[in-house]
Structure 1
Amino acid sequence: MAKDMDTPSMAELYGGRLRRLRQGRGWTQRELGSMIPVEHSRIAQIERATGAKPTLQLSRAFDRIFDTDRLFEELWPYVHAEAYPNWSRAYLRAQARALEIRGYTAHSVHGLLQTQEYARAMLSVGRTLKTPDQLDERVAARMARQERVFAQHGPHLWVVLDEAVLHRPIGGEEVMKHQLAALLAAAERPNITLQVLPYSEGAHEAMGGSLDVLDMPDGTALAYREGSDFGWLVEEPEEVKYYSLLYDRLRAQALPPFMSLDMIRSYMEDSSARVPAQPQRRRLAQVQLQQPGGWELRRNRGRTPRRPGPGQQA
């Protein structure tokens, strides 16, 4: 739905408040930028709500300079949420305030741990993406959301990744290797814990999408389920309790953190050996189809053999 032309966006409200405060002090955009420091063109973009959006770090700098008691820090999540579909905005606002975030992802690295290149590859697909500018906005917003997690006193982030996440080379082999290295580096932080749920665990209740459980400052908890183009925020206490217990079961099924990091390291160092290049896969398929019984594979292509576990590769 198009935005009402008479209703300002959150970015416009943020920029308008910044402009009035700056002008009230008699400062130019260049003078304000020099206090942070940041280019004066960035200040102009934020005030006009065009181009780059403010980061969390920049918002905190504005609050410090203007003594605005976290005004810009509290507006920041709403500004960035506008780049996302309506159904995810309430979740993003809650995530920005959560004291602990427990996440499970089945198909991709959790958004709070994605590299910029990986995030761009992920966000470039999907029916909710409309324009290249929107892609740039979403990538910038995702990177900005990570600032809070990697800050000195960031929330605790506990992520369980399905083994399939490590196996899928989103963005290509080099992007994926860089992403796996970033996961290993993130796991060294005291507020971040990573586990891998191996294929050998079989079916489980969270298959088919992602799950986040958020512990909020007021002592309540929220849950969020998301698929490729839909999502819903769960606030009913009994439902949240169900998803919290579900997440605890996933943690229990997953490999311990140290073994999980060994698996991530193994995939990073041996990714090319695990997944043949596309031309090689085609050649192997042709050879297989020409063998006795090979065409039976085509007739039953919906039935795929179980992938060997780590260390069981031929």
Structure 2
Amino acid sequence: MSVDGEVRRLKSEADEPGWEVDPDDDWGVAVVATVGRQLKLRREAAGMRAAEFGAAVGYGEDLVYKIEGGKRIPRAEYLDNADEVLGAGGLLSAMKEDVAKVRYPKKVRDLAQMEAKAVEIGVYECISVNGLLQTPEHARALFEVWQPAYSQDDLERVLAARMARQSVFERSPAPSLSFVQEEATLRRRVGGTMVWRQQLERLLEVGRLRNVTLQVMPTSGGAHPGLSGRIEVLKFADGTAVGRSEGAYNGRPTSDLKQLRILELRYGTIRAQALPPGESLALIEQLLGES
């Protein structure tokens, strides 16, 4: 094949949309800048020009410069190829874990970090099944109808981030987890009947764990303090806590004691009005039987 034909195959920005660094993500900016600097130093030490190196790893010269300048997030295969071409002995490939985390949206990363440290998590959901409870198929169905639409790359990224949060169920010692789901969220057949049934089965599985309390707020229950939006309260081993509600404090996380007491009062009232755990699981089993 001619040189021109080879160049046309090199990846450009058009081939990799959505891999820019979020300028408000200080940690992400620092990680990508460090990785880019290491790539540049090793390329120059190997005596390779950017165009030559790009051709070796399958990327255009402009994209190589942007990755080295910390303006673009390198893919895992880019780091693997660079490691091999530059003879880095695995040191460049080892950066993939931190780089992969940068691909997760900052707010999702922050939430996952808080959930990983919490000894108690309480969540009320009124719109959809909580992310910690979703099956991959259910989550994918939700992301696929998001507007504006995710690119395929970004869809896989946010899906992986959501599933990664579920490592909270594998922690030892296990945290105390409490969920209250509106009945309507369980009746909506997201992803079709099969995906919906799998989601209900997942709820039954999680709801039977010893450290989990799963309750359903029946539609017939009338008004309650959660109708203005989702509520989440996380408590930590040192006695501190963080709360958030879509219907209060602009939806932002808060550790203010007065605001936390209000959120805890609302969540406690919601739990008191919801069906007890046994009746909640029975309702989910009933929904499965009706399909």
Q: TM-score range by the shorter chain?
A: 0.5 to 0.7
Task: For residues 268-287 of structure 1, give each alpha carbon's deviation from its aligned partner in whole angstroms, at most 9, with x where no partner exists.
Answer: 1213xxxxxxxxxxxxxxxx
Q: CA deviation at 1:225?
A: 2.1
Structure 1 pair 93–49 and aligned structure 2 pair: CA distance change class (3 A): farther
What is the identity percentage for the equivalent residue pairs of Structure 1 and Structure 2? 35
Q: Which residue number in structure 2 is paired with residue 159 of structure 1? A: 179
Aligned partners of 1:87 and 1:195: how far apart in 2?
A: 27
Aligned partners of 1:81 and 1:237: how far apart in 2?
A: 32
Q: 2:139 aligns with which of 105, 119, 122?
A: 119
Q: 1:3 aligns with which of 5, 22, 35?
A: 22
Aligned residues of 1:102 and 1:158 also touching (Cα < 8 A): yes
Structure 1 pair 94–153 and aligned structure 2 pair: CA distance change class (3 A): same
- Counterpart check, 1:50 vs 2:75: yes
Q: CA deviation at 1:8?
A: 7.3
Which segments of 5 or more consecutive residues in structure 2 lack a partner in the other structure? 1-19, 39-72, 78-94
Q: 2:209 aligns with which of 177, 186, 189?
A: 189
Matched to 1:50, the amino acid is R
Q: CA deviation at 1:259?
A: 0.4
Aligned residues of 1:81 and 1:92 also touching (Cα < 8 A): no
Aligned residues of 1:121 and 1:170 also touching (Cα < 8 A): yes
Aligned partners of 1:203 and 1:245: how far apart in 2?
A: 15
Structure 1 pair 2–147 and aligned structure 2 pair: CA distance change class (3 A): closer
CA RMSD in angstroms, aligned pairs only: 3.5
Q: CA deviation at 1:80?
A: 4.2
What are the within-5 Å matches in structure 2 for residues 84-233 of structure 1? 84=105, 90-127=110-147, 130-226=150-246, 231-233=251-253
What are the within-5 Å matches in structure 2 for residues 246-257 of structure 1? 246-257=266-277
Q: CA deviation at 1:201?
A: 1.3
Matched to 2:75, the amino acid is T
Aligned residues of 1:88 and 1:232 also touching (Cα < 8 A): no
Q: CA deviation at 1:14?
A: 12
TM-score relative to the length of structure 1: 0.60
Helix, strand or coil for the counterpart of 1:233? Answer: coil
Which segments of 5 or more consecutive residues in structure 1 lack a partner in the other structure? 20-47, 53-71, 272-314
Structure 1 pair 259–156 and aligned structure 2 pair: CA distance change class (3 A): same
Identify, as 1 or 2, the structure richer in helix. 2
Q: Which residue number in structure 2 is paired with residue 262 of structure 1? A: 282
Aligned partners of 1:217 and 1:233: how far apart in 2?
A: 18
TM-score relative to the length of structure 2: 0.64
Q: CA deviation at 1:51?
A: 4.9
Aligned length: 217
